[in-house]
Amino acid sequence: MVIITAGMIGVGKTTLTGKIADHLHTKAFFEPVGENPVLPLYYKNPKQYGFLLQIYFLNKRFSMIKRALKDDNNVLDRSIYEDALFTKENNAEGNISDTELEVYLKLLDNMMADLQRLPKRAPDLMVYSETDFETILYRIKKRGRDYEQIDTNPELKDYYYKMWKAYKQWYREYDASPKMKIDLEKYDLENPANVTAVLGMIDDRLKDIR
């Protein structure tokens, strides 16, 4: 069973990933953020480091999804299926040129074709998390990564809002696997009762697709 989690920066999907993995007694693959040498550089100068950041993430996520599909018993915190969302937004913002976007998309197509040659070709379930925008901002501030803070970089607020809106469209269009949506505004995972409720909803969805 392979589950991927998806959602906006700061929504709480990393916490959810850990909860699902513990619940299912399986392995969690977490997004490579803390050890990412490019991410702080990108937040300081997105036009210089936008393409490099997306290639870095694409390489990591391709490796992770291949391992996950081969192991067939894990949960992934963000995956290759939403990677292009960030790249296209960087292109729209002028951080990535049209030529760089074309190179990226061709590379992504080759990687996705490679996945189709695996015995297991796609996840069993995608769990998408969402909250309102103000909660996103609160949680980004609370986790305290300096380079993510709008207090020191006010332009980030517009970027976060655009990504928040783009994710809603991405969820509607996602069709790589069965999917479900979790409202982490209503079900704040700091409350143990909410954790139980959310995991119950995921169990029910898994029963539907087995």
* 83-92 and 156-173 helices, crossing angle to 10°: 130
Of 209, 197, 183, which Cα lies nearest the Cα of 8? 183
Q: Check the annotation: does 26 bind a ligand.
A: no
Alpha-helical regions (H) of the chain:
13-24, 39-44, 46-71, 83-92, 98-115, 133-143, 156-173, 192-209
Report the relative pairing of strands 74-77 and 179-183 from DSSP bridges: unpaired
Q: Check the annotation: does 31 bind a ligand.
A: yes
Q: Check the annotation: does 140 bind a ligand.
A: yes
Q: Check the annotation: does 11 bind a ligand.
A: yes
Q: Check the annotation: does 139 bind a ligand.
A: yes
Let me know if 158 is a catalytic residue.
Answer: no
Q: Check the annotation: does 78 bind a ligand.
A: yes
Q: Check the annotation: does 82 bind a ligand.
A: no
Q: Check the annotation: does 144 bind a ligand.
A: no
Q: Check the annotation: does 172 bind a ligand.
A: no
Q: Are 135 and 183 in contact (CB under 8 A)?
A: no
Amino acid letter, residue 6: A
Q: Check the annotation: does 12 bind a ligand.
A: yes
Q: Check the annotation: does 209 bind a ligand.
A: no
Residue 153, phi-psi category: left (phi > 0), alpha (psi -120 to 50), beta (remainder): beta
Phi, psi of 77 (to 5 degrees): -85, 100
Give the list of residues 6+ apart from residue 21 with CB closer than 8 angstroms, or none: 27, 28, 74, 75
Q: Distance (Å, rounded) from C-alpha 74 to C-alpha 112?
A: 19
Which of 72, 77, 188, 203 is catalytic? The answer is 77
Q: Check the annotation: does 13 bind a ligand.
A: yes
Q: Check the annotation: does 18 bind a ligand.
A: no
Annotated binding site: 7-15, 31, 43, 54, 78, 83, 139-143, 148
Annotated binding site for substrate: 31, 43, 54, 78, 83, 148
Annotated binding site for ATP: 7-15, 139-143
List active site positions.
77
